[in-house]
Amino acid sequence: MQEINVIVAGAGIWGCTVARVLAEKGRKVLVLERRAVPGGNVRCETDVESGIEIHTYGSHIFHTHLDDVWAFVNRFVTFNGYQHKVLARHAGKTYFLPLGLTLVNAFYGLNLTPPELPAFIAKEAGNAPAEPANFEEQAISFIGRPLYEAFIREYTRKQWGMDPKDLPASIIKRLPVRASYDVNYFPDYRQGIPLTGYNSLFDRLLDHPNITLECDVDWLEWRKENDLNVPVFYSGPIDALFGYKYGPLPWRSLRFETERVAVADWQGTSVVNYTDADVPFTRIHEFKHYHPEQKDVMAHPATVICREYPKTWAPGDEPYYPVDTPASREKLALYQAEAAQCPNLVVGGRLGEYKYYDMDQSVGKALAAAAAFTA
């Protein structure tokens, strides 16, 4: 075997970033990926007929306010400036998310101005607790009960498979709420999709003479037959790392139904959320809208849509979203204590840290981990 100084287990965005930084610092890095290709859940495929870049594991939009992260990823790809907008279907009508003046005025048939919105929402919130104890109380304090019941409650039940009263208040804090007509879903002005596709980002991150990539290799199995005493950066599920000895952590998984439709534009935007209980999926993606600069793709007489169905995770499923509850935090602490006893181990990424990170957060965490290692 060639000289190896470091192993990176998992070629998602966290692992590929770690590998690149360490390689540029002179380390010989072996990247082991259990799938057939790198990229983790950001991996895409191209529809041969239409040229549409399909986000295989659900839509991913890169957005950030972090200067160092933006500078780093722009070394490898150029972004197209796509600005993410999300629509929501409720009771047969379509509304703009996020929750702001556009949605409030359309929903209530009003014409509120920015100074008027906070007082209106406070009135709608009624006697919401000053210190919300759960997801539902937090949501009502943010937007009032009518909007919560229309756009949040049933969508959340589908997404998490739980009563919102049993979810922590922290989850709803990711939801954009603003007193303006801004319908961009994310507040970050640095947004976009790589012009050459997400796969090119991973290919270029790993394109370094000090990096060796081996796919179809699960490090958890590989380590049983290979005794390399080198540091390991691991980004798989932390409970799997220790053989589920305290039991599996709860995750939410997803199931996707992808369909080619013989129309040039099926829904007019990239993502529509379906907030009502009688619709079994949470959202529909239409991927061609992520590349408006590709005029030939946009004009193609077919499109690709994808319905997203949340599901309870079971062994063998892909874990997507950590379920943050007091019980899961207690179990996570046991696994983190185990990891802390391993001197040559760094655990990171969404799966390793059991955190709901956006892509830019994963890159930022990876940059920090690699910098700490090489300091």
DSSP-derived letter for residue 38 is S
Could you say which of 20, 252, 335, 360 is catalytic?
252
Q: Which of 89, 283, 290, 335 is catalytic?
A: 283
Cα 196–Cα 199–Cα 205 angle in degrees, nearest 5: 100
In the residue annotation, 153 being an active-site residue is answered as no
The tokens 């000090």 sit on which residue? 210
**Whole-angstrom distance, CA of residue 184 vs CA of residue 326:** 33
- Which of 34, 145, 178, 204 is the catalytic position? 178
Active-site choice (116, 218, 324, 358) = 358
Annotated active-site residue in 53, 188, 308, 353: 308
Q: Is 68 a catalytic residue?
A: no
Specify whether 350 is catalytic: no
CB contact set of 25 (below 8 Å; sequence gap of 6+): 370, 374
Q: Which of 174, 225, 278, 296 is catalytic?
A: 174
234 assigned to active site: no
Helix (H, G, I), strand (E, B) or coil at 229: coil
Examine the residue annotation and report whether 27 is marked as an active-site residue of this protein. Answer: no
Q: Can you say how many angstroms the Cα of residue 124 is from the centroid of all Cα atoms in its chain?
A: 31
H helical segments located in the chain: 13-24, 67-73, 101-108, 117-125, 135-143, 145-147, 153-160, 198-205, 219-225, 238-241, 295-299, 326-340, 349-353, 359-374
358 among known catalytic residues: yes
Annotation marks residue 174 as catalytic: yes
Pick the closest to residue 214 from 27, 13, 29 (CA basis): 29
- The catalytic residues are 174, 178, 252, 283, 308, 356, 358
